[in-house]
A and B are shown apart, each in its own frame.
Chain A
Amino acid sequence: MSVALILQSLFNVMKKEFSQTLRDRRMLATLIVSPVLQLVVFGYAIDLDVDRIPTVVCDQDRTPASRDLTQAFFADRTFLRRQDVLDPNQAQRALETGEASAALVVPRGFEPRVARADAPEVQVIVDGTDVTLAQVASNAASQFLLLHGIGGEPTGGERVPVAKGPFALPGFSGVAATASLVPRVMYNQRLKSAVYMLPGVLATLLLNVTAIVTAMGLARERETGTLEQILVTPIRPAVLLSGKCLPYILFGLIDVLAILLLGNLIFDVPFRGSLAVVALGSFLYLFSTLGIGILIATLSSSQQQAMLGAFAFMLPAMLLSGFMSPISSMPAWLRPFTLLIPMRHYIEIMRACLLKGAGLRDLAQQLVALTILGTGILGVSVMRFRKRLA
């Protein structure tokens, strides 16, 4: 077959795939509208910066001193005064029902002890069922109590993050001068969650749109037998597959563009790198996700199996990609496996490109990894696809 003929048949397959997709309004909604909509709606949910923790106050002392203390406790808006109770048991109950996530208990005799410069007994109780919230709450509380000369640290909470400012240097506690460690956060100064979560959300949505849709689409063609019909025509299997895949790469790239644009407009996600690197990375990533979709399709005999198979890949991939929890905190034996996951490299590329303004040279390693994974997966899946049909 001549090159012109191959191109012609490729074009024909693509045209068929396009018109089939565009005709079904729901399919189009699935491919373009729903990823963008999901990003916008759920993007607002991505906020790990805990504040306004609902708090119940039990002030048994009821003196000016205790009132000052409780007011100061709510001054920086980390805690939100939800209700006031008199009985500590009621405070406990508020925690149990989830009405409040923290309780501040000021016992009787607070003022006299302050007057005597005796360490007063103030208690903060934190609901530990939500760990993110508990860590922030107990840390803020311990800083507050320390500041007010009450002291104390959370029992059992070994690690209480988030504290900025001067630190005294070990071994110099007796010396009047202190050394301070000035922390500076680069690239995402306010540590806004949406900014560093967006690449992960984008990678997930793309994986969903491309891998699941191709896997199920091909499985459906097998179920209905249309694939065999096309194969009796002179079109080669490889041409058929690429004709089917190219439209989805296009849809995927449209999604990337729309999501980056909206992310920038709505959530202030910066775009510091070059568009070319983003486009190259996205293209390579879509290559690998489509390959995964085809591979799953060749392994399954029904759409149900294809769907479950796609999820069986997608969920672990999502967890191991460093999207939600850092790869460095995974156990050592698990970390090498994350290198096999295209999402990991794509997320690294996008984070570096959008936030750090990294260029081609900084990201060479990830781009090469994506290229190898993409061609490898796609190659294996095309081979399997041809064998199944032969």
Chain B
Amino acid sequence: MKSLRRTMAVAHKEVLHIIRDARAVYMALGLPVVMLMLFGYGISQDVGHIPMAVADQDGTPTSRRLSQALVAGGDFVRGLDLASPDDAEAALRAGRVKAVLVIPREFARDLARGVPAAAQLLVDGSDGTTATIALGDAAGILQATSSVRAVRASLSSGPRIRVRFNPTMRSTYNMVSGVIVLILAMVASLLTALTIAREWERGSMEQLFATPVLRSEIIAGKLVPYAGLGFVQTLLVITLGSFMFGVPIRGSLVTLFGCSMLFLLAMLGSGLIASVIAKSQLVAVQFALMMSYMPVAMISGFMFPIANMPRWLQALSMVVPGRYYLTTLRGLLLKGNGLDVLGRDVVALAGFATAFLAIAVWRFRRRLA
């Protein structure tokens, strides 16, 4: 009972800290909204408007039809016309265009004669995302308008390949779930990273120790207000995600918020660890970034598929809580999975939350000796 009262006293003090720095609260809540908007509206892996130069040496109706097909059917924008293929290299290097279509002389004549004719599409590989998609688009456009369609039509109808859970393969769905993980990881760990380091920096920690408050109570008291703030954030991003971007919530809401809370605790815990280890706020922030934000961004499977990574990195990703939260989030939002499927991930999240908080308390204790 006494312990609870002491914890609440620390929590109360922390709440006062938070409220007095109202600008920080606005930023902590505004940042996720801005991120979500940018990711949802501005950022898209669905590439369009790829600037393309055309070096048409043939200059016949046939060759024009080829370049027009690329512009009309896909995401290419005709940037400039080149007199000679020799200029292609310079245009690509200066970055004025991302692709160059080179149609050789006699292209139409060869075709008319029945001789295979080849045009060339040069693609700038230094921007890999654009390059991959440019190649695919070019292939798709030409394939769609050609003989392939005839082959398909002769076969019996009905879909043979089905994309499940996200049938249109919208990158927004993918992004939004990833961004939720990223935002929670970042804000939760960064905010707590400052709290304990700040007390050390200002020398108020000694004052706290002069009171009967226990170390674990300090940690718990610091945790409570930020967990509340984090919960508001979770609510905010999930609501915005589903209203603004139409991301479905197919699973149970209770499970969703339960899992989010566990993940939040794990991230708050890792922020506290950073705060306890580092001497200053500046270093604590960098520790927290390295321990929570970067792993979530890089090896949780958000941007880069885990299956592609070398084995040792895959093993390392097993200790990144974001990985399990991403799985549960995608499962809950898009697949409508229940606890029967997600049980393992939920247990992992709970394990990380407990372990991180325990480590924070333990390291905190050691520093006092």
Contact = CB atoms under 8 A, between A and B. Distances in A.
A221 to B, nearest CB: 11
B15 to A, nearest CB: 15
Contacts of A160: 136, 140
Contacts of B98: 328
B313 interface: yes
Contacts of B301: 130
A357 B53 CA distance: 20
A308 B24 contact: yes
Contacts of B304: 45-48, 193
Given A325-B129, A329-B48, A175 B114 contact: yes
Given A130-B301, A173-B150, A324 B122 contact: no
A324 B307 CA distance: 20
Interface residues of B, number: 126
Given A154-B162, A179-B117, A325-B44, A172 B111 contact: yes
B42 A331 contact: yes
Contacts of B130: 326, 328-329
Interface stretch (A60-68, A91-99, A248-256, A375-383): A91-99
Contacts of B155: 119, 149-152
A154 B163 contact: yes
Contact of B279 (A26, A187, A191, A320): A26
A187 B125 contact: yes
Taking chain B's interface residues, is the majority helix, strand, or loop, or is none over half, making it mixed? helix
A189 B330 CA distance: 34
B169 to A, nearest CB: 5
A338 to B, nearest CB: 9
Contacts of B321: none
B173 interface: yes
B119 interface: yes
Contacts of B298: 42, 45-46
B327 A27 contact: no
B308 interface: yes
Interface in A29-69: 30, 34, 38, 41-42, 44-54
B59 to A, nearest CB: 16
Given A180-B117, A308-B27, A355 B125 contact: yes
A146 interface: yes
Contact of A184 (B23, B123, B327, B341): B123
B161 interface: yes
A97 B344 CA distance: 10
Interface string B160-190: 1111111111110110010000000010001
Nearest to A329: B47
A134 interface: yes
Contacts of A153: 152, 159-161
Interface stretch (A161-169, A228-236, A276-284): A161-169
Interface stretch (A3-11, A237-245, A257-265, A299-307): A299-307
A169 B38 contact: no
B186 A311 contact: yes
B28 A162 contact: no
A298 interface: no
Given A161-B133, A307-B285, A329-B44, A168 B93 contact: no
A146 B125 contact: no
Contacts of B161: 123-126, 138, 141-142, 145, 152-155
Contacts of B334: 128-129
B166 A134 contact: yes
B319 interface: no
B138 interface: yes
A179 B119 contact: yes
B135 to A, nearest CB: 5
A80 to B, nearest CB: 8
A133 interface: yes
B142 A170 contact: yes
Given A139-B136, A330-B44, A358-B94, A45 B313 contact: yes
Nearest to A155: B159
Contacts of B39: 319
A164 B123 CA distance: 12
B116 A157 contact: no
A183 B24 contact: no
Contact of B310 (A24, A44, A134, A357): A44
Interface in A95-128: 95-98, 101, 118-119, 121-128
A48 B45 CA distance: 12
Contact of A319 (B43, B131, B167): B43
Contacts of B237: none
A175 B111 CA distance: 9
A30 B284 CA distance: 10
Interface stretch (B5-13, B228-236, B286-294, B346-354): B286-294
A48 B166 CA distance: 20
Contacts of A217: 282
Given A153-B152, A154-B159, 7 more contacts: A48-B129, A142-B161, A154-B161, A212-B286, A316-B35, A326-B127, A358-B95
30 contacts: A42-B299, A46-B304, A50-B307, A95-B164, A96-B335, A124-B160, A129-B334, A145-B160, A150-B160, A151-B160, A152-B160, A156-B167, A169-B142, A177-B115, A179-B111, A179-B117, A181-B118, A182-B119, A183-B138, A185-B123, A185-B125, A185-B131, A191-B128, A195-B126, A308-B28, A308-B190, A311-B186, A322-B127, A329-B47, A348-B95
Q: Would you list the 5 A-B pairs with minimal beta carbon distance, nearest first?
A: A161-B136, A152-B160, A128-B166, A188-B125, A168-B146
Interface of A: 24, 26-27, 30, 34, 38, 41-42, 44-54, 80, 95-98, 101, 118-119, 121-135, 138-139, 141-142, 145-146, 149-165, 167-173, 175-189, 191-193, 195-197, 208, 212-213, 216-217, 220, 300, 302-305, 307-309, 311-312, 315-316, 319-320, 322, 324-326, 328-331, 334, 348, 351-352, 355-358, 362
